[in-house]
Amino acid sequence: MSEKIFRSPKKKGKMAVFLSGRGSNFRAIHDSILKGKINAEISVVFSNKRKAQGLKLAKERNLNTLYLNPKDYSSKVDYDKTVIQELKKIGVDLICLAGYMKILTPHFCQQFPHRIMNIHPALLPAFPGLHVQKKALEWGVKYSGATVHFVTPDVDMGPIILQSVVPVYQDDTEETLSERILKEEHRIYPEAVKLFFQGKLEVRGRRVFIY
């Protein structure tokens, strides 16, 4: 059987950014767009947290925002179905998870194959999930970093697009390591989005090729 190949579209794209917190990755992506480095616009910034700092930042930047309270829905699937409807209305090409602290349902992931990216503060497949820097320090790894990957129902395990490595020092704390990694996140996330809309990403199985 021949392998299914996905090639990202070369076009001016419409993006959605999903966040639950401070939104520094959202800011880095938006800054890159404003500098003309990414051929896309952010059509909506979505959050499951009404008070997310990133949502406030998006409003200050005059971007369209959407907040939906999970408590208003009877199930996770119902919630995601409403979000999907909103995104389909807009015609979103790419969804960037940027500190979105809610796991997407498999149903959601299936609606947007190779159209959802996430940033993770470790060198996946090491240290998926939460409390990532704590785990890295406890393991005594000498290097950690950041990973941009496509999202599949298997949390933090989708095809890897870009990674960046940082050293881990003996006197690091979760805070100092997070800070070093975050700088790399702000560099590689916009880069991955740029490559996507340049039509340069090709996914074959679990590998992403950059052309």
Amino acid at 50: R
Give min distance, CB of 63 to ligand GRF, in A.
Answer: 15
Give min distance, CB of 12 to ligand GRF, in A.
Answer: 24
Nearer to ligand GRF, 54 or 190 (CB): 54
φ, ψ dihedrals at 49, nearest 5°: -125, 120
Nearer to ligand GRF, 99 or 158 (CB): 99
Give min distance, CB of 101 to ligand GRF, in A.
Answer: 8
Longest dimension (CA), the chain: 52
Give min distance, CB of 122 to ligand GRF, in A.
Answer: 8
In angstroms, the CA 85 to CA 108 distance is 11
The residues facing 198 across adjacent strands are: 10
φ, ψ dihedrals at 57, nearest 5°: -60, -40
Structure tokens of 152?
């599949």
Stretches 22-30, 39-47, 123-131, 167-175: which one binds ligand GRF (CB under 6 A)? 22-30
> If binding is defined by CB under 6 A, does position 25 make contact with ligand GRF?
yes
> If binding is defined by CB under 6 A, does position 47 make contact with ligand GRF?
no
In angstroms, the CA 194 to CA 187 distance is 11
Stretches 23-31, 39-47, 66-74, 83-91: which one binds ligand GRF (CB under 6 A)? 23-31
User: Tokens 């520094």 identify what position?
Assistant: 24
Q: Single out the catalytic residue among 120, 131, 149, 186.
A: 120
> If binding is defined by CB under 6 A, does position 163 make contact with ligand GRF?
no
Q: Of residues 96, 104, 117, 119, which one binds ligand GRF by CB under 6 A?
A: 119
> If binding is defined by CB under 6 A, does position 99 make contact with ligand GRF?
yes
Give min distance, CB of 181 to ligand GRF, in A.
Answer: 7
- Give, as one character, the DSSP assignment of residue 72: G
Torsion of CA 181, 185, 188, 190, to 10 degrees: -160
> If binding is defined by CB under 6 A, does position 19 make contact with ligand GRF?
yes
> If binding is defined by CB under 6 A, does position 83 make contact with ligand GRF?
no
The question of whether 120 is a catalytic residue gets the answer yes
∠ CA 191-206-119, nearest 5°, is 35
In angstroms, the CA 45 to CA 59 distance is 9
Q: Which chain residues interact with ligand GRF by CB under 6 A? A: 19, 21-25, 54, 98-99, 119-121, 182, 185
